[in-house]
Amino acid sequence: MTQHFMVIGNPIAHSKSPAIHQIFAASVGLDIRYARQYCPDASDSFTAVVEAFFNGGGVGANVTVPFKQLAYELCHERGGLSAHAAVAGAVNTLLLKDGKPYGDNTDGQGLVNHLQQLGWPLSGAKVAIIGAGGAARGTLLPLLEAGVASITLANRTLSKAEALIQSLRNAHPLIAQAALNTSTVDELEGDFDLIINATSIGLSGDTLPLAPTLRCTYAYDMMYGRELPFLQHFSGLGAETSEGYGMLIGQAALSFTQWTGKPLAVAELMPQLTAMP
């Protein structure tokens, strides 16, 4: 029996999700159809698309830009949310539970899974995250669950970083007890085990105003698919680096397993997944 899935976004034609999930399905012997679904950027349109999909027998949906907050609101009002989605304030994975929409956010755990696949140690790590938007927000809880010792959130506007930290402290007890700090990007300095770029600045070719005294053992950029100045900078300082394609794979794998109940051998599938055009 064919199971139906989709990814909702605007724009959506560029999405690699259908190809990724077809590789997942083939590896566990499932017959699936995974479609790209364009949606007008409006709340009522998004709700109508989701309702039509599940009413038609759809099993699960991914949600991408600009609908992650709308998906959160839909599940908050009509169904349920995972702890990760509640903290992130965003949903990237939809399914039905007891006939109601249920939302999860697998982005942060997908990042953690990729970091662990790379062999980068997280237990006891001193971490800095650059950016205070939705991408950064979704990473804090999974990183703390993985055992990092401290997190410094750096943003060009300090007040935005401070406001995010305060809202997250109120959202989950593990975050409330954590060693969390804030900084402006240009004043972030010293040695970190891991620095994560959670901004999209590298896609524009611009560079972050990084202090000359800032160092790390590992540098990770959530963006992928092109040369990234952030990674070039830290590679030149001797750090081990990675772009974010593995995070994309990681979050997709978690969605797939949640929908189907089928665990995936992601590391074994990476040669196929990285060979996709």
pTM above threshold 0.85 = yes
Backbone angles phi, psi at 137, to 5 degrees: -55, -40
Question: Which of 16, 68, 97, 126 is labelled catalytic?
Answer: 68
Give the burial class of 224: count Cβ atoms within 10 A of its Cβ; 0-12 exposed, 13-18 middle, 19 or more buried. middle
Is 235 found in the same domain as 161?
yes
Is 233 found in the same domain as 122?
yes
Is 55 found in the same domain as 170?
no
Q: Chain-wide mean pLDDT for the chain? A: 96
Q: What is the rounded distance in angstroms from the CA atom of residue 46 to the CA atom of residue 77? A: 14
Please answer whether residues 111 and 63 qualify as being in contact, where contact means their C-beta atoms are separated by less than 8 angstroms: no
Confidence bin at 226 (pLDDT 50/70/90) = confident
Please answer whether residues 63 and 41 qualify as being in contact, where contact means their C-beta atoms are separated by less than 8 angstroms: no
Is 197 found in the same domain as 138?
yes
Is 138 found in the same domain as 211?
yes
Instruction: Give the relative orientation of helices 245-260 and 17-28 as an angle to the nearest 10 degrees.
Output: 50
Is position 97 annotated as part of the catalytic site? no
Q: What is the pLDDT of residues 48-82, one digit of tens each?
A: 999 999 999 999 999 999 999 999 999 999 999 99
Residue 119 pLDDT > 80: yes
Residue 277 pLDDT > 90: no
Is 221 found in the same domain as 151?
yes
Q: Spell out the residues 6+ positions from residue 139 whose beta carbon is closer than 8 angstroms to its own.
A: 107, 108, 111, 129, 196, 198
Domain count, the chain: 2
Is 182 found in the same domain as 100?
no
Task: State how far the alpha carbon of 142 is from the alpha carbons of 90, 126, 149, 151, 173, in Å.
Answer: 14, 15, 13, 12, 13
Q: What is the pLDDT of residues 83-105, one digit of tens each?
A: 999 999 999 999 999 999 999 99
Domain of residue 160, residue span: 109-243
Percent of the chain's residues with pLDDT above 90: 95
Q: What is the pLDDT of residues 135-166, one digit of tens each?
A: 999 999 999 999 999 999 999 999 999 999 99
**Which CATH number is 58's domain given?**
3.40.50.10860
Is 196 found in the same domain as 131?
yes
**Which CATH number is 165's domain given?**
3.40.50.720
